[in-house]
Structure 1
Amino acid sequence: MALHDDVLALRNARIAAGSPPVPEALQGVTRAKVAEVLGQVALGGNADIVDGVFALLDDETPSWFSKAPDGAKVADGATTAHLACHIGILQRGNGKLDREGRDYWIKPLRELGGFVPITLLDGAFITGHVKAKSPNSCYRLDEELVAILKAPEPEWRAMLAAWASADAARSRRAFQAEMEEASRKLVDSGHADLIRASVDHYAARFLPGYQLLYIDDSDGDRVSEEERAKMAAAGVTLTLEDAMPDALLWNPETDHLWVIEAVTSDGEVDFHKVAQMERMAARCGKSGVGFTTTYRTWKDAAARQSAHGNVAVGSYIWIQSDPAKHLRVEG
C-alpha cells in the first residue's frame, strides 16, 4: 500500500497548497490534445489509454522508483502500478486502476509502439523488459509520439500520418479510425451506403489494381451508359441470365474480375452466385473472378450466417465496422 499512500499524500498536498493534483497541460500537452491525436488511430475513445499517455507526459512528478536515476520523473519510466496510481488517484481522485485491466489500457498502444517497454537496471533505464515479471519493468512514451503530441496544428497531423504509415499495426488503426469517422457521418447506413463503402474503402484497400466497372447503389438505371462503356472496354457483357452484383470490378493487368455483394437483408455470395458469375467470366474470356460479401457489423453477419450459413467457400467476408481486415471462407 506504500505507493498508493504516497500518491494519495501527494495529491492531498498539492490540493492543500492550492495547486491542481495534475496540471492542465504536461509538456504543453492537454488531455484533449492526447484524445484528439489518439482518435486518429482509433484509441481516442478509451479514457484509460488517454490518461495513461497523459501520465507518461508527467515530467514534473518525481519518479516513484526508490532507486531511480537522479532527477528522474514519472515520464522517464513508470510501471503498470505507477500508471494505475497516477491515473486512478492523482488524476481522478479515486482508487488506482485495476492492474488486471492493463490489457485494455496499456496493450493497445504498446502494440502500436506508442508505449515503449523499458527496465530500470543498476540505476538506469534500458530498452526492453529484460527480465520476466520484474518489478522494475516499466514504460515510457515513444519519442516520435511525444513530438507529435507537442506539435501545433496542422503539423502534428502530417507527423502522425508518417508515424502511422511506418508500422503495419498503426496503419491498420489509422484506417479503422478513418472508417469510424466515415461511419459517424452516415445519416443512413442502408444498403446503398454499404455498397459505396465496400467500393470506396474495401476495394480501395484490398483490391489494388482493380477498376470499378459497375455499381448498383442508386434507384436509377441499374447500368448507366458510362458503365456500359466501361464494361465494353473491359470485354464484359452482362445478360439476363447473369447475376447482377452490387459491384463489379476488373483488373486490366490480370484480366480478372471481382464481385462484391453488400448484405443488409439478403444476397450473400453463395454457390449459385459463384456459378453464375464464373460462367459469365468464362464466356467473356476472363482469367477468373473473385468474390466478397460485405456486412455493416459482425452482429449483422452473425445473424445472417447463423440462420443460413450460405457464404460460398473460397470467397471473402468484410465487415464495415471492423474494416482493417477481410476473411477468407475455407471449407
Structure 2
Amino acid sequence: MKRVEQIIDLMKLRNYTTEKNHERCIKCVETLLNDQIPSPYKDKGMSDIYEEPKFCHGANTASIASVIQQLEGKTNKLDREGRDHWIKPLLELGVLRKGYLKPPTNKNEKYRIIKDYHYTKSQNNFYFVSEEFKALLNFPEEDLKEAVSNFLLNSSKGKELRAYQIVSENINSHSQLINQAVEFFTKKHIPDFKVIYIDDEDGTRIREEFSILLEKAGITLDLSSRYPDAILWNEEKDLFWLLDAVESDGEFDHLRVEDLYKDFVSSGKVIAGFTTIYRTWNKVANRQGIYKNLSPGTSFWIANDPGKVFYVSELIK
C-alpha cells in the first residue's frame, strides 16, 4: 500500500493536519481498500448486495477506528471525533464517499446502497473509497503527479491543496513571496488589475519598466517614503490595489493606510484595496498575536493557505 501513502503525500494533506492524523488518513484509506477483512455489515444487509462483503465495500467510523487502533497497537479506543480529523479531510478531497445501507421496507425488497448520503445517526452509514481515487493507484509513476493534481481539481478542498502546491513550492525568499502573491493572488482575486510596480530587489527601487507604467497611471513614488511592495492598477476604472509582503514588518496598519490614502487622493487617485501578504499561518499568529495592527477595511492573504483571502472588519467604531 505504499502507493496510497505516495498519493496522499502528493496531495500535501499534511500541511492541513497533524502528522499523526496524516498517518491515520493513510491508514483509513488502506483499511477501506482491504479486500480480506470481512465487512462489518456482513450480517446486516451487505450480503444482499455482495456475495462476500469485505471492508473494501464500505465500513462505518467505529469499524475503521477499530482497525486503525489494531494497526497502531493501541489498547484504548480511538476518539470517535477522530472522524473530523482523518475521515472528513478525505471526504472533502473526494478520496472517500458516503454511503447508506437502506433497509427494505417490505418482505419483497432487499437492502440497497444509497451513495453520497448519510441518514442521521444511523448505524447503516458507511464510507468507501471513490473510484476516481482507485484509478490513481494504477497510474504509471511518471504520470502520477499530474494525475493527482488533476484529481484535486474535482473538489473545493482539493483546489485549495492544488493551490498550495503551486504557490508554496516556489517560495524561499521575501522576493519570491511578493512575486507569488502577484502571480497567484492577483490572477485569482483581482484579475482586472495589472502590475505596474514591484519592489522585489535591493538597490534601485524603481525599475525602468515600472517607471513607464507608473507614469502612465499618473503615480509618482517618493523615494524617501515607505511605499508598498506591489502596486496594481485597473486601467479601465483607474483604481489601485496595494500589496505588502510581511517578513519582519509591513502590515497595512491604520496609520499607513491613512497616509497612503492621502498620497493617492492628492494625486486624484482611488485605492480599491490593501492586502497584507504572509508566508504562513504561524507568521500571522506571531505578528498579530503581538501587534494586532491590521487595519479594518484591509485584507490579508497567506501563501501556504492560498485558496482564501481574509477581510478585516471593525466591530467597535
> 1:242·1:276 contact (CA, 8 Å) conserved in 2?
no
Q: Aligned residue for 2:140?
A: 152
Q: Aligned residue for 2:107?
A: none
Q: Aligned residue for 1:205?
A: 188
TM-score by length of 2: 0.81
**Cα drift, residue 152 of structure 1:** 2.0
Matched, 1:224 2:207: yes
> Cα RMSD (Å) of the superposition?
2.6
**Cα drift, residue 134 of structure 1:** 1.6
Counterpart selection for 2:7 from 33, 37, 45: 37
* Partner SS for 1:217: coil
Counterpart selection for 2:256 from 273, 279, 284: 273
Show structure 1 runs of 5+ residues with no match. 1-29
Encode CA deviations 1:85-121: one digit per residue, 9 max, x unaligned: 23232x4454464333221110111123321111223
Counterpart selection for 1:73 from 54, 68, 72: 54
Q: Aligned residue for 1:109?
A: 90
Aligned equivalents of 2:296, 2:81: Cα separation in 1: 40
Counterpart selection for 1:143 from 131, 135, 138: 131
When structure 1 is superposed on structure 2, of 289-298 and 156-165 the one drifting more is: 156-165
Counterpart selection for 2:29 from 48, 53, 76: 53
Paired-residue identity, %: 35
Counterpart selection for 2:162 from 163, 174, 191: 174
**Cα drift, residue 211 of structure 1:** 1.9
**Cα drift, residue 284 of structure 1:** 4.6
* Partner SS for 2:272: strand
Cα–Cα, structure 1 residues 92 and 310, in superposed 2: closer, same or farther, change >3 Å? Answer: closer
> 1:254·1:287 contact (CA, 8 Å) conserved in 2?
no
> 1:245·1:259 contact (CA, 8 Å) conserved in 2?
yes
Encode CA deviations 1:295-322: one digit per residue, 9 max, x unaligned: 2333433343344333221111122333
**Cα drift, residue 228 of structure 1:** 0.9
Cα–Cα, structure 1 residues 81 and 144, in superposed 2: closer, same or farther, change >3 Å? Answer: same
Show structure 2 runs of 5+ residues with no match. 104-110
**Cα drift, residue 132 of structure 1:** 1.9
Partner AA of 1:38 in structure 2 = I
> 1:277·1:289 contact (CA, 8 Å) conserved in 2?
no
Q: For this pair of structures, how many residues does the alignment match?
A: 295
> 1:242·1:280 contact (CA, 8 Å) conserved in 2?
no
Aligned equivalents of 1:158, 1:211: Cα separation in 2: 29
Matched, 1:87 2:44: no
